[in-house]
């Protein structure tokens, strides 16, 4: 009997030495916990201004993204022109400019999706991607903005959106690398330097 127990114990030790992670993996499976890849900020679903659902991580895979919450009746609205200029200059190099209309600041984006699209096209010739109008702060904020403003998910750049035309820059892997306030013009040196630095990096295979 003792001999059999010793043989069984020796067998368990041998198996564990051959695969030291097996016991931990078994424990995780029993607890229902499975290793998960680290979540990315852009791995969110949104609707375009035309109402089509898109996963941002898939749509902008391998691209540098400049995300801006926009409005049509704001003192910063002329920044649309600079955003379009960035789109024209850098889109072939891998930049995606993305506008996200929001009506939470002074009611400065009251229009329908059709009205917003028409305004952007007529006034500024906007060709870059525009998402559907959403909240960026509060309990009804879009999941993307909940992620971007939370200290738990985005500790380096967290905090409520203060006004229209705040800007986030994402690298080619979908990680936030910079945040700029409304006063920072899209074509300012500080913004362009970050964009160009990220564009110079190749996407990981």
Provide the annotated active-site residues: 74
Place of tokens 């919450």: 69
Identify how many contiguous H helices and E strands the chain contains and give both numbers: 7, 7
Spatial separation of the C-alpha atoms in residues 179 and 177, rounded to whole Å: 7
- Give CB contacts under 8 A, 24+ apart, made by 143-147: 143/44, 143/45, 144/41, 144/42, 144/44, 144/46, 144/56, 145/69, 147/39, 147/41, 147/44
Spatial separation of the C-alpha atoms in residues 190 and 5, rounded to whole Å: 70
Spatial separation of the C-alpha atoms in residues 28 and 99, rounded to whole Å: 42
Spatial separation of the C-alpha atoms in residues 103 and 108, rounded to whole Å: 6
Residue 195 backbone zone (phi > 0: left; psi -120 to 50: alpha; other: beta): alpha
């Amino acid at each position: 009997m003792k001999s059999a127990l010793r043989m069984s114990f020796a067998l368990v030790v041998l198996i564990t030495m051959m695969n030291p992670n097996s016991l931990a993996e078994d424990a995780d499976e029993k607890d229902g916990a499975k290793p998960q890849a680290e979540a990315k900020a852009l791995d969110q679903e949104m609707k375009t201004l035309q109402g089509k659902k898109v996963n941002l991580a898939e749509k902008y895979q391998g691209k540098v993204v400049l995300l801006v919450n926009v409005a049509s009746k704001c003192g910063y609205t002329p920044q649309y022109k600079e955003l379009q200029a960035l789109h024209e200059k850098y889109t072939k190099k891998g930049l995606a400019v993305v506008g996200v209309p929001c009506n939470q600041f002074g009611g400065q984006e009251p229009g329908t999706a059709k009205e917003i699209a028409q305004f952007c096209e007529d006034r500024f010739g906007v060709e870059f991607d525009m998402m559907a109008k959403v909240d960026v702060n509060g309990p009804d904020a879009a999941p993307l903005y909940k992620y971007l403003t939370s200290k738990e998910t985005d500790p380096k750049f967290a905090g409520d959106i203060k006004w229209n035309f705040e800007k986030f820059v994402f690298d080619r892997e979908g990680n936030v690398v910079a945040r700029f306030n409304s006063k920072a013009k899209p074509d300012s040196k500080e913004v362009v330097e970050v964009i160009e630095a990220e564009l110079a990096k190749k996407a990981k295979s």
